[in-house]
Structure 1
Amino acid sequence: MISFLWAEDENHLIGRNNDLPWRIPADLKYFKETTLGHPIVMGRKTYESIGKALPGRTNVILTRDENFEADGCIIFHTKDELLKWSKEQQKEIFITGGAEIYRLFMDVVDRLYVTKILHTFEGDTYFPEVNWDNWSLISSKPGVKDEKNPYDYEFRIYERK
């Protein structure tokens, strides 16, 4: 199963200058808890924004750069290579960004994990358009708003109809 996991604001903004436009530690904790023990797939720019392989997960990078290397990561150069590899995995695979990678796999994704931040921010990267008619909301849980997590937000999970 291929899943997307991302956080977005009310306008579908997901990034600013190759970083997150907000600080919500509870969302980072959710990301870690959800993906731990599973393969995570990201583009080169997303990997570079993190700066290292995330522990406890198989880190997979999709890049057109044939010379790109990253310690502790599996590198693929085409969608087809990655999909072939994904069929051999016995676990849910999480695509974690960025926008170009989400767009590339929109036709094959089975599940969406969305942290919806009920606020608007400034930024430069937006999640690709989703045809919500193809998706069913299976779970929605409000996040805790407090001094460390200063925005209203919800953890939503959708499955393809």
Structure 2
Amino acid sequence: MQKMNLQQGFALLEALIAMFITAGVLLGLGVLHIKSVQQSALTTQRTIASIQANDLIDRMWASVCSLDNSTGQPDMTKVNAIKTQWQNRWKVEDNESDFVEELTSDQIALHNRMNGWSGNLEIVDATKRRYKITIQWENKKAKWYEANPADKENFIYHFSVPKCEV
């Protein structure tokens, strides 16, 4: 009589299990890579929003001595003029703005990453010269955006400027 080998077919089963484990690991790495790319895009957008906020803060600091009216409070006309200048600087839509000619191709590429951009400046406390910058944009690559396109990414920054001492 011939003896039966109990190990027969075991190598095939081992190979099959190893293939399933390898496929699962590769699938997990693919998902991890996609999430990493999404977060990298969001980080880039938040960095651009930070640059935009700092641009407005620099404009406010450069005009610190001309911001006050005769009562020593921030003059809304001057603050709104700075805000409008800043908004026009960063709101380039489809390269239709006259300002586009002054931008480099790299700067235009940065602008184009901020779809649906809007920026606002609010006075939080006029006596203490505290302001709030709110920057919003669409992040169409985010999964939640597909569910509710009305939602936008927000970047909020609070700052204050000193009273001008002449």
For normalisation by structure 1, the TM-score amounts to 0.24
* Higher relative contact order, chain-length normalized (CA < 8 Å, sep 6+): 1
Rg comparison, structure with higher value: 2
For normalisation by structure 2, the TM-score amounts to 0.23
Choose between structure 1 and 2: higher helix proportion: 2
